Amino acid sequence: MIDWTDRAVMLSARPFGEGKAVAQALTEAHGRHAGLVQGARRHAEALQPGTLATVRWRARLSDQLGTFSCEAETAHAALWLDDPARLAALQSACAVAEMGLPEREPHPAAFSGLAAFLETLAGEAWPAAYVGYEVALLAELGFGLDLERCAVTGARAGLAWVSPRSGRAVTREAGEPWRERLLALPGFLSGAPEFAPSDIRDGLALTGHFLARHIAGAVDRPLPAARLRLADCFAD
Residues 102 and 74 in one domain: no
CA distance 218 to 142: 13
Which DSSP symbol is given to 150?
Answer: -
Rounded to an integer, the average pLDDT of 170-193 is 94
Residue 175 pLDDT exceeds 90: yes
Which residue, among 114, 18, 16, 25, has the nearest Cα to 69 in the 3D structure? Answer: 25
What pLDDT is stored for residue 43 in this prediction?
Answer: 87
| Claim to verify: residue 227 and residue 212 sit in the same structural domain | yes
Asked, for residue 160, whether it belongs to a domain, the answer is no
Mean pLDDT of 100-129: 98
Among 53, 78, 103, identify where a domain stops.
Answer: 78
Work out the mean pLDDT of the chain and round it to a whole number: 96
Domain that holds residue 129: 80-147+185-233
Residue where one domain finishes, among candidates 51, 78, 105? 78
Please tell me the total count of domains within the chain: 2
pLDDT, position 206:
98
Q: Is the pLDDT confidence value at 17 over 90? A: no
Q: How far is Cα 153 from Cα 112, in angstroms, rounded to an integer?
A: 35
CATH number where 127 lies: 1.20.1440
CATH number at residue 7: 2.40.50.140
Is 158 inside any structural domain?
Answer: no
pLDDT in tens, 26-41: 999 999 999 999 998 8
Cα separation, 116 vs 129, whole angstroms: 9
